[in-house]
Amino acid sequence: MDLISFFVIAVGSMLVTGLIVLLLRKPQNTSNHQVELIGRLAQMAEANAAQQAQISERLQAQERALSKTLEDRLTALSKRVNDNLQESSTKTGETMIKLQERLAVIDAAQQNITELSSQVVGLQDILSNKQARGAFGEIQLQDIVRSALPPSSFEFQFTLQNSRRADCLIHLPNPPGAIVIDAKFPLESYRALLKAKDELGRTVASRQFILDVGKHINDIADRYIIPGETAESALMFLPSEAVYAELHANFTKTVELSYSKKVWIVSPTTLMATLNTVRAILKDAKMQEQASLIQTEVMKMLKDLVRLDQRVDNLEKHFGQAEKDLKEIRTSTEKVSKSGERITELEFGENTSNGNNLGQKKTDGITLIDQAHK
């Protein structure tokens, strides 16, 4: 509203000023009415000038107030922006720290993955070589046997009478006798079986797998089952649960062949269970070997028990005799005490008439003492 009033007053002032100028430019023969009109216009011009001054001051005050308000708002906005920037900077720094920590973890995990991949590549290299694969199976066999049986019950790389060297020989009492464990790993045929894409390829791979496993079974039966030296059976160790599961799931005839040859096929898990049974058999055999010694010790213990019983009886007799002696001592003590009481009850007189009585009482006292001693 102030701006509109200022505009209206400014326009009025311009009109008044224009009228005054027009009137001043007219000839001097103006009438009184015109003079009065000019005077009023001059008053109006002065009033408009005063109002313009007031409006100018008011506008300046409003301008100062508006400037201060804008300055305060700009200061608050600047502070808010600075706070937000500082907060964002702090959060960004924390996020960067967390990001660095996560990158460090990812870097460590990447190193572990790299090491693991190198180990997997090394394992693949081992499994691709037959000799290295055989050594891998033997090492796994040795670890399982060492963890399950006492050291005196097995031998590794034991040479039999037929000059065949067994991967492991477990010493068991007869029957059944020593049992041979031989590690076999038919990996090529098993991989070919897994990679077969059609029925024909699977059939070919299955035949080769059956031939490989059957050859291992026959070799173990011919080399490591020796009458009079080993047991009537042997163990074929497959260091892979997957191969063992595939064999028992889809090749039952091959498993039946192993039964007929008395070659028992075991995996790491079933071998551990078998060795636990073997350990129980060894413990029972050890106890049987020590049975005679245990019986001898038990007989000695029984004799010692009889001797102890006799000595307890003798001690009981001694205690009974001591108790009897104590009773007799107590009886004698009571008799002596009673005799002393009788003596203290005797009376002694001064006259002669009483002398006889005194002698008589003394005689009675001596008699009582003699009787007490008796």
CATH of the domain at 170: 3.40.1350
Whether the predicted pLDDT of 1 surpasses 60: no
Whether the predicted pLDDT of 109 surpasses 60: yes
> What pLDDT band is residue 162 in, cutting at 50, 70 and 90?
confident
Judge if 158 and 254 occupy the same domain: yes
pLDDT in tens, 33-88: 767 777 777 777 777 777 777 887 888 888 888 888 888 888 888 888 888 888 88
Judge if 191 and 310 occupy the same domain: no
**Cβ contact 51:9 at 8 Å:** yes
Which of residues 290 and 338 earns the better pLDDT score?
338
Whether the predicted pLDDT of 338 surpasses 60: yes
Judge if 308 and 263 occupy the same domain: no
Q: Which of 240, 264, 289 is the last residue of a domain?
A: 289
pTM given for the model: 0.45
d(CA 268, CA 266): 7
> What pLDDT band is residue 16 in, cutting at 50, 70 and 90?
low
188 contact partners, CB below 8 Å, separation of at least 6? 212
Task: Provide the pLDDT for residue 365.
Answer: 47
- The average confidence (pLDDT) of the chain is 77
Where in the sequence is the domain holding 253, given as residue range(s)? 129-289
Question: Does some domain include residue 116?
Answer: no
Task: Provide the pLDDT for residue 325.
Answer: 84
Whether the predicted pLDDT of 348 surpasses 80: no
> What pLDDT band is residue 197 in, cutting at 50, 70 and 90?
confident
Whether the predicted pLDDT of 356 surpasses 70: no
Question: Does some domain include residue 119?
Answer: no
> For 131-198, where are the E strands, in sequence order?
154-159, 165-170, 179-183
> What pLDDT band is residue 369 in, cutting at 50, 70 and 90?
very low
Q: Which of 269, 289, 309 is the last residue of a domain?
A: 289
Q: Which of 44, 78, 97 is the last residue of a domain?
A: 97
**Cβ contact 321:354 at 8 Å:** no
Judge if 318 and 281 occupy the same domain: no
Which of residues 351 and 193 earns the better pLDDT score?
193
Question: Does some domain include residue 174?
Answer: yes
